Amino acid sequence: MIRGVRGAITVKENTEAEMTSATERLINEVIVKNGIEADQVASVFISVTDDLNAAFPAKVLRSMEGWTFVPVMCMKEISVPSALQKCIRVMFHINTDMSPMDIEHIYLEGAAVLRPDLITE
């Protein structure tokens, strides 16, 4: 069964260093908390809000050992006036037997407001 594992994080500034660091933190936490291995992953979508354009967050995942052949795509979020700003979101599509209730979706920094019902900390 393919299931989605979501996550999001906000950054303070639109800089390559900040975007890269935040993406790495988010991706690592999603992977560790859900025990994800690259060979289980069908694809990963990464989106950013309109105010972020200093880096390609997908480069972070592509540079990780063992993740070279996992399809990763960056895209823009829909620009809604009241939406959370400076936000990076990820969606891992994984092959798993886990139930939806066992998946740990990760929302860090200001992104915790997106899904307070899924915060487990």
Q: Which residues are catalytic?
A: 6, 62, 74, 77, 89, 107, 115
Residue 41, both tokens: 């992953």
DSSP assignments along 26-50, one per residue: HHHHHHHHHT--GGGEEEEEEEE-T
Helices assigned H by DSSP within the chain: 16-34, 58-62
Residue 85, both tokens: 């700003």
Residue 39's nearest CA partner among 63, 6, 61, 70 is 70
